[in-house]
């Protein structure tokens, strides 16, 4: 069974991009409207990444814990899920050890 990870991938990238933009805004002009837009955007993306990761059956406990890391946790969890999915597919097709 293949699971579509597109939504998790988008949310993970939005989470990282919004964090970078918030930190850049903080380090430069610190514009309140930018903070008011990016803060909730980052928070929603972060919560979406957590919920999406925790709902996947192929996500191990370590993968779920990795998703909790702000900013890069979603991308790291996505990488672990994709690696695990590829390993399982290789074992089913008789790929054996690599």
Per residue in 45-94, pLDDT (tens digit) is 999 999 999 999 989 999 999 999 999 999 999 999 999 988 888 877 76
Q: Which two three-digit tokens encode residue 70?
A: 């702000």
* Cα torsion angle, 50, 56, 59, 79, sign: negative
What's the CA gap between 17 and 38, in Å, rounded?
10
pTM of the shown model: 0.85
What's residue 24's pLDDT?
98
Q: Which two three-digit tokens encode residue 21?
A: 């933009």
Of 86, 84, 83, 78, which is closest to residue 48 (Cα–Cα)? 78
What's the CA gap between 24 and 55, in Å, rounded?
32
């Amino acid at each position: 069974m293949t699971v579509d990870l597109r939504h998790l991938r988008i949310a993970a990238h939005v989470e990282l991009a919004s964090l970078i933009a918030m930190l850049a805004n903080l380090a430069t002009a610190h514009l309140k409207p930018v903070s008011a837009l990016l803060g909730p955007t980052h928070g929603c993306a972060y919560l979406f990444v957590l919920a999406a990761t925790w709902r996947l059956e192929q996500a191990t406990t370590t993968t779920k814990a990795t998703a909790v890391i702000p900013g890069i946790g979603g991308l790291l969890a996505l990488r672990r899920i994709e690696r695990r999915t590829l390993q399982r597919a290789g074992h089913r097709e008789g790929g054996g050890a690599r």
